[in-house]
Amino acid sequence: FLHSATSAAVTAALGPTLAGCAEKLIPKPGLEPELNVYNWSDYIGYETIQGFEREFGVRVNYDTFESSEEMLGKLLAGASGYDLAVPVGYSVPVMRERGLLQPLDRTRIPNLANLAPLFRDSPFDPGTRNGIVWQWGLTGIAYRRDLVAPPTSWRVFLGGEGGVDGRMTMLDDAREVLGAMLRMRGRSLNSADPAELVVAKADAVSAKAHLAAFVSAAVKGQLVTGDVWVAQLWNGDARQAQAEEPNVGFVVPEDGSTIFSDHMVLLAGCPHPHAAHAFLDYVLRPDVAAGISEATGFGTPCEAALPLLRSPVPYPSVAELGRLEYPMDLGDATALWDRTWTEVKAA
């Protein structure tokens, strides 16, 4: 299931003779020859992997996923062979409790000192025990400035002001869709109240009638081509679309929304722990961290990278933070949420 991250483009550029050398990486002393990384799609710098392979002599097998559920499902099925994975914050304690994580050897990651204080002691991983914050971001509404007025509320997806039937999408993500519907009604996006979830489900089903689809990664291209005009989306993905089409705008609705941190964690019993530590230290270098955020459009946890970024994602103001919530583990309510989402998808 793993494939090499050595891109075809690089191989082609180097030509057949030099490309052969790519097969003969010599790992730095103490490092395993390979590293298996499992990350969200479109969530890394253009040169991050190649730079690591070249400098450390470690071949990186890089796999991607589109949703937390997909990632967790694969890891819970066992024997994934991955060394590093990137769960959303609330999944870190869940994975720890299920025995999926192992503690970092922090002495092997001196660049932890480059983390912003805010991300050194995340509530999801106090003291950076199991991993590092990879990126942080917000969920909001991306829209085509040249085609529609800026949406102000999640109600746009229920045909509210600015809504355009068939030109709108929401994320293919239970937490985001039901969370937005809960916020729209003034509720917490972490609600475990069955009555509130009944309303959120009815709202999501109403929204579905106005949507082209529930879609995550692929919507960027649809915003660029103009097939989609209004999309629930993560801020970094919106920035990626904006880099191709300057008419893509992004707003955080008045009703409030999600703020999240995704964490790169070390998996229990992973086959290449030394290379994994070297990689975590490498991505916390200011220039490497800047390269990641420049490509993803998301916020960097590496404070030392901020001065290197052309337009760093500003940390939300106190007023904005008041409207934002971190998704938390739903505990016993997880089953109710899963069932509710299945019903929305089937409706």
- Shortest gap between Cβ of 194 and ligand N2P (angstroms)? 26
Token duo for residue 88: 């959303």
CA separation for the pair 22, 91 (Å, rounded): 36
Site size for ligand N2P (CB under 6 A)? 10
Site for ligand N2P in 115-154 (CB under 6 A): 137
Whose structure tokens read 């990186």? 60
| DSSP states of 215-261 | -STTHHHHHHHTS-SEEEEEHHHHHHHHHH-TTEEEE--TT-EEEEE
- Shortest gap between Cβ of 65 and ligand N2P (angstroms)? 10
Per-residue binder mask for ligand N2P (CB under 6 A), 199-228, x = binder: ------------------------------
Single-letter code of the amino acid located at 323 = R
Among 6, 27, 36, 43, binds ligand N2P (CB under 6 A): 43
User: Is 234 one of the binding residues for ligand N2P (CB under 6 A)?
Assistant: yes
3-class SS at 273?
helix
Among 172, 262, 294, 325, binds ligand N2P (CB under 6 A): 262
CA separation for the pair 281, 101 (Å, rounded): 18
Please report which helix (H) or strand (E) contains residue 142, including its range: strand 131-144
- Shortest gap between Cβ of 330 and ligand N2P (angstroms)? 16
CA separation for the pair 15, 22 (Å, rounded): 11
User: Is 237 one of the binding residues for ligand N2P (CB under 6 A)?
Assistant: yes
Token duo for residue 154: 């999640």
User: Is 325 one of the binding residues for ligand N2P (CB under 6 A)?
Assistant: no
**Which CB sits closer to ligand N2P, 38 or 56?**
38
Stretch that binds ligand N2P, among 35-43, 150-158, 247-255, 273-281 (CB under 6 A): 35-43
**Which CB sits closer to ligand N2P, 163 or 256?**
256
**Which CB sits closer to ligand N2P, 34 or 262?**
262
Stretch that binds ligand N2P, among 26-34, 37-45, 188-196, 330-338 (CB under 6 A): 37-45
- Shortest gap between Cβ of 161 and ligand N2P (angstroms)? 27
Q: Which residue is nearest to ligand N2P (CB)?
A: 40
Going by C-alpha positions, the residue among 94, 107, 87 that lies closest to residue 39 is: 87
User: Is 62 one of the binding residues for ligand N2P (CB under 6 A)?
Assistant: no
User: Is 282 one of the binding residues for ligand N2P (CB under 6 A)?
Assistant: no
User: Is 42 one of the binding residues for ligand N2P (CB under 6 A)?
Assistant: yes
Q: What is the DSSP letter of 149?
A: P
Among 37, 88, 168, 228, binds ligand N2P (CB under 6 A): 88
Going by C-alpha positions, the residue among 209, 220, 143, 208 that lies closest to residue 180 is: 208
Among 41, 102, 152, 247, binds ligand N2P (CB under 6 A): 41
**Which CB sits closer to ligand N2P, 244 or 343?**
244
Calculate the alpha carbon distances from 303 to 235, 262, 281 in Å.
19, 16, 14
CA separation for the pair 31, 29 (Å, rounded): 6
User: Is 260 one of the binding residues for ligand N2P (CB under 6 A)?
Assistant: yes
How far is C-alpha 117 from the chain's CA centre? 21
For residue 126, the tally of other CB atoms under 10 A from its CB is: 11
Pairing between β-strand 211-214 and β-strand 257-266 as defined by DSSP bridges: unpaired
- Shortest gap between Cβ of 98 and ligand N2P (angstroms)? 20
Whose structure tokens read 């019903």? 343
Q: Which residues bind ligand N2P (CB under 6 A)?
A: 40-43, 88, 137, 234, 237, 260, 262
